[in-house]
Chains A and B, each alone.
Chain A
Amino acid sequence: MSLRQPLLRLARYLGASGPPRRLWWSPFLGRIFPVGSWRGQSSRSPAHWNQVVSEAEKIVGYPTSFMSLRCLLSDELSNIAMQVRKLVGTQHPLLTTARGLVQDSRNNLQLRGLVVLLISKAAGPSSVNASCQNYDMVSGIYSCQRSLAEITELIHTALLVHRGIVNLNELQSSDGPLKDMHFGNKIAILSGDFLLANACNGLALLQNTKVVELLASALMDLVQGVYYENSTSAKEDYITSDIGISTWKEQTFLSHGALLAKSCQAAMELAKHDAEVQDMAFQYGKHMAMSHKINSDLQPFIKEKTSDSTTFNLNSAPVVLHQEFLGRDVWIKQIREAQEKGRLDYGKLRETIKAGKGVTSAIDLCRYHGNKALEALESFPPSEARSALENIVFAVTRFS
Chain B
Amino acid sequence: MLAFILRRIASAAGVMLTVAFLAFLIFRFVGDPVDMMLNEQATQEQRDALRERLGLNDSFLIQYGKFVARAAHGDFGISFRNQQDVSTLIGERFPATLELVLVATALSLIIGIPLGVITAIYRRSVLAETVQFASIVGVSLPSFALGIFLILLFSVKLGWLPAFGRGETVDIGFWSTGLLTSSGRRALILPSITLALFQITLVLRLVRAEMLETLRTDFIKFARARGLPNWIIYFRHGLRNCLMPVITITGMQIGNLIAFALITETVFQWPGMGMLFIQAVTFVDIPVMAAYLVIVSFIFVALNTVVDLLYGFVDPRLRAKGAMGASHAAA
Are the chains A and B members of one assembly? no
